[in-house]
Homo-oligomer: A and B are copies of this chain.
Amino acid sequence: MKGRLFVFSAPSGCGKTTILKGVFERIDGLKFSISSTTRAPRKGERDGVDYFFITEQEFRTRVRQNRFLEWAEVHGNLYGTDRKQVEEALNCGLDLIMDIDVQGARQVKCAMPEAVTVFILPPSWKELERRLRDRRTDDEDSIRRRLQNAYAEVSEAYWYDYAIVNDAIDKAIEEVVHIITSFRLQTSRLAGFISGLLSQKR
């Protein structure tokens, strides 16, 4: 039995974090993929829980060794997903959840085509703007920039395997549950049960 890697992307304000939290409450056997980073831990962050904190030298070595499924430099810090960690979790039969931007998702899909990609869409730009304003964390410029980025990101949604419209949080959670569960019902995941049945005394 092998697990699946599910890769989630969404523009800022589309509710991805809330949706994934709800999905973890509803489904067992899920694991969140933890990135490695060269940035310093923030207050409260723990190594191996929030990130794997490593030195830049170590990171660069691993890049050369092709040990990252995907990696990127953001504001001078390096972030990456360790290929072996992903493969080990999948081999244990766990389904892995990865929360990553469009560029990262593209790298993962190229490196591991059997990964399942899911894009979370806003119901409308107006509603996305309203949600960004309601957070009261961004100034006007920042909101404009986030909306522009959102537009660029949505124009990449086409190549994702699945798309969810987050017009109601419970519905969106339920839809992600449908997607993940459907992969658990693939015959390959039930091969053990079927061969057990066929070798059972009738």
Interface residue? A163 (CB, 8 A):
yes
Give a binary string over A64-106; 1 marks a CB under 8 Å from any B CB, 0 the rest: 0000000000000000000000000000000000000000000
Are the C-beta atoms of B124 and A197 separated by less than 8 Å?
Answer: yes
Interface residue? A1 (CB, 8 A):
no
Are the C-beta atoms of B197 and A121 separated by less than 8 Å?
Answer: yes
Q: How many copies does the complex hold?
A: 2
Are the C-beta atoms of B158 and A191 separated by less than 8 Å?
Answer: yes
* Consensus secondary structure, chain A interface: helix
List A128-166 residues whose CB lies under 8 Å from chain B: 147, 151, 154-155, 157-165
Are the C-beta atoms of B186 and A162 separated by less than 8 Å?
Answer: yes
Interface residue? A110 (CB, 8 A):
no
* Chain B proximity of A129: nearest CB distance (Å): 8
* Chain B proximity of A59: nearest CB distance (Å): 33
For A, the interface residue count at a CB cutoff of 8 angstroms equals: 36
List A148-202 residues whose CB lies under 8 Å from chain B: 151, 154-155, 157-165, 175, 177-179, 181-182, 185-187, 190-191, 193-194, 197-198, 200-202
Given contacts A125-B200, A187-B157, A193-B121, contact A178 B175 (CB under 8 A): no
Residues of A within 8 A of B (CB): 119, 121-122, 124-125, 147, 151, 154-155, 157-165, 175, 177-179, 181-182, 185-187, 190-191, 193-194, 197-198, 200-202
